[in-house]
């Protein structure tokens, strides 16, 4: 048995984490244990076992976290309606805390003194990983090679791998940085580093087609929700993972959920990426439609404020914080009656509402009709407007008395 101290590495088998294994051994003389997390990225992870060992790891854990990811991270964020900067559905953001949580659990099990990750010093992921570690195991040392080694580019990393005969899934000619899970697929790098360039979608897209290539006929779907959680598709009850997988297929072939965004990273710089989130985009649209008839005005408007703050917390890696937990508790209360069905028409990248109903609907046709009704007295509006406008009237009277001209 090795007497060396142990470090547990968040391992994906990609360029960065592939070279981190030998780098940790060369520079720290640690026993390196790899941990690969399956969060629904659609890849067979078993080949990583041989690859990690050949790269120098003493052991590798391959952990299936997909169901926990959907139920404990994706759905709470969906219920909150959280969207970062109006576009980004947080696909990478909320995957990092669950990975880091498992990393910590394995480190404790193995008696490791440190954990390591392959996030760069320019990005958000370093913060997301490390805040989780600090929240769950502050005693662990955190090693972030990109902040301390002399490798300065992906080209340098490719050369480092080649010198040690480590196979990596990129080349100097095609070096997009991608992150995939059951919720989304992100693309960064190459032509996307210049916002003036149109993305080369035929080369980029893997989950979706462009709207131009989507079918010429619309696709209708019906989603059922219980207390804000999606539970059925087209009348069939489905478990969370299966439901999302089916929506990804349906959304992908209809060109749904492709965004091109220049976003503000937490570290202060702007970055540009293309995201594919077909199923998630459908779920957000359906959830909003259902809330429109189930939430009262004040709750809906305040929840919009909460959604923005919730999105920032998720994006910034502050999942395991008292504020995020408190906001989730608030959201859960708002979802008590968000139960019903939503019908949507999907057509060439568009999501068009096609009907919504709920046993808890607050929509009253007898109140809002333009026809004759017996439940609303139009004369009541006069007193309401007089009281609602009283501060304006008092202000205007004061200005007139003092001859104040705006």
201 is in an annotated binding site: no
28 is in an annotated binding site: no
- Indicate the fold that domain 6-69+92-176 takes in CATH: Rossmann fold (3.40.50)
Tens-digit pLDDT profile for the chain (406 aa)? 568 999 999 999 888 899 999 999 999 999 999 999 999 998 889 999 999 998 999 999 999 999 999 999 999 999 999 999 999 999 999 999 999 999 999 999 999 999 999 998 999 999 999 999 999 999 999 999 999 999 988 789 889 988 988 877 665 555 688 899 999 999 999 999 999 999 999 999 999 999 999 999 999 999 999 999 999 999 999 999 999 999 999 999 999 999 999 999 999 999 999 999 999 999 999 999 999 999 999 999 999 999 999 999 999 999 999 999 999 999 999 999 999 999 999 999 999 999 999 999 999 887 766 666 677 788 899 999 999 999 999 999 999 999 998 8
The Cα–Cα gap between 198 and 188 comes to 13
383 is in an annotated binding site: no
Predicted local distance difference test score (pLDDT) of residue 172? 58
Predicted local distance difference test score (pLDDT) of residue 177? 84
What is the architecture, at CATH level 2, of domain 184-295+338-357? Alpha-Beta Complex (3.90)
Specify which residues 232 forms β-bridges with. Answer: 224, 237
What are the residue ranges spanned by the domains of the chain? 6-69+92-176, 184-295+338-357
pLDDT per residue over 113-126, tens digit each? 999 999 989 999 99
Predicted local distance difference test score (pLDDT) of residue 406? 81
Predicted local distance difference test score (pLDDT) of residue 375? 76
User: How does the average pLDDT of the chain come out, rounded?
Assistant: 94
Predicted local distance difference test score (pLDDT) of residue 369? 63
88 is in an annotated binding site: yes
Predicted local distance difference test score (pLDDT) of residue 14? 84
186 is in an annotated binding site: yes
275 is in an annotated binding site: yes
177 is in an annotated binding site: yes
The Cα–Cα gap between 124 and 319 comes to 13
120 is in an annotated binding site: yes
118 is in an annotated binding site: yes
263 is in an annotated binding site: yes
Active site residues: 16, 96, 125, 177
């Amino acid at each position: 048995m090795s007497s060396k101290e142990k470090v547990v590495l968040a391992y994906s088998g990609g360029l960065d984490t592939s070279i981190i294994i030998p780098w940790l051994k060369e520079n720290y003389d640690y026993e390196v244990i790899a941990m690969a997390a399956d969060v629904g990225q659609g890849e067979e992870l078993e080949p990583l076992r041989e690859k990690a060992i050949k790269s120098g790891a003493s052991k590798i854990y391959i952990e299936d976290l997909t169901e926990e990811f959907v139920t404990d991270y994706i759905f709470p964020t969906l219920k909150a309606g959280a969207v970062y900067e109006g576009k980004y559905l947080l696909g990478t953001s909320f995957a990092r805390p669950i990975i880091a949580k498992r990393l910590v659990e394995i480190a404790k099990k193995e008696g490791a003194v440190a954990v390591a990750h392959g996030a760069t010093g320019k990005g958000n992921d370093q913060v997301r990983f490390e805040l989780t570690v600090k929240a769950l195991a502050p005693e662990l040392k955190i090693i972030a090679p990109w902040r301390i080694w002399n490798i300065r580019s992906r080209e340098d990393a490719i050369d480092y791998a080649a010198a040690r005969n480590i196979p990596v899934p990129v080349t100097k000619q095609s070096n997009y940085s991608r992150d995939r899970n059951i919720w989304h697929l992100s693309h960064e790098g190459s032509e996307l580093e210049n916002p003036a360039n149109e993305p080369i979608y035929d080369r980029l897209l893997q989950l979706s087609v462009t709207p131009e290539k989507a079918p010429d006929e619309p696709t209708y779907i019906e989603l059922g929700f219980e207390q804000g959680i999606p539970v059925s598709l087209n009348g069939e009850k489905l478990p969370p993972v299966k439901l999302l997988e089916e929506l990804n297929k349906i959304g992908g072939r209809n060109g749904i959920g492709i965004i091109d965004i220049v976003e503000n990273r937490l570290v202060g710089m702007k970055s540009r990426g293309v995201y594919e989130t077909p199923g998630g985009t459908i779920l957000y649209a359906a959830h909003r439609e259902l809330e429109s008839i189930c939430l009262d005005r004040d709750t809906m408007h305040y929840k919009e404020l909460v959604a923005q703050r919730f999105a920032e917390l998720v994006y910034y890696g502050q999942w395991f914080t008292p504020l995020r937990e408190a906001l989730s508790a608030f959201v859960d209360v708002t979802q008590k009656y968000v139960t019903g069905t939503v019908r949507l028409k999907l057509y060439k990248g568009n999501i068009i509402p096609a009907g919504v109903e709920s046993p808890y609907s607050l929509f009253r046709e007898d109140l809002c009709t333009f026809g004759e009704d017996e439940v609303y007295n139009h004369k009541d509006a006069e007193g309401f407007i007089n009281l609602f406008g009283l501060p304006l009237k008092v202000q205007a009277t004061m200005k007139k008395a003092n001859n104040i001209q705006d």
